[in-house]
Amino acid sequence: MRTSLILRGLALAGLTGLTAIGAGCQSERPSAPPAQSTAALPTMERVALAANRCWFKSGDAAFKPYRLAPELNSFSGRPRILIVHRNSPESRPLAVVQAEGHPAKMQAFGPLLDEQVGPRMTSDIRRWASGNSGCN
C-alpha cells in the first residue's frame, strides 16, 4: 500500500511538472502590431524614408536633378524635408514637406509641386504619411 501511494505521488508530481513545462513552451498569442504614431516627427520620418527610397535611391528619372535634405530635428516643432537642386543644395528649396502637431497636420509647398511631378509627389506623400510605405 505504501509503495502504491509513493508511486501515485510520483506520478502526480510528474504530471504536474509536465503540465508546467508544457505551459511554458506554449507560444503566447501574437499581439497586434503597435499602431503607428500620428505625431509630426514619426510621420515625417516615415515620409522621409519612403521619399529617399522611392524617389532618390531607386534612380527615378523624375528626381535625378534633385536631392533630399531632411530637417527632422526641428526645434520649431515642424520636422520637414526639403527637395533641393542636386548640384546646389544651398539654394532655395524647390519643395518643402512639413508636419506639426498630434495628429500631424501636413503641408507641402514649393514650385516643384506645380510641375508635372507635383501630383505624383502629393499622392506619394499622402500615402506615406498614412503608413503605407510602398513605392508606385
C-alpha cell at 52: 529617399
Range of the domain at 122: 40-129
Q: What is the pLDDT of residue 18?
A: 38
For residue 23, tell me if it sits in a domain.
Answer: no
**Which portions of the chain are predicted below pLDDT 50?**
2-27, 30-33
At residue 102, the 3 state secondary structure works out as: coil
**CA dist., res. 3 & res. 57, Å (int):** 76
CB 102 within 8 A of CB 39: yes
For residue 3, tell me if it sits in a domain.
Answer: no
Q: What is the pLDDT of residue 74?
A: 74
CB 136 within 8 A of CB 124: yes
What total of structural domains would you count in the chain?
1
C-alpha cell at 121: 509627389
Which residues make beta-bridge pairs with 6?
none
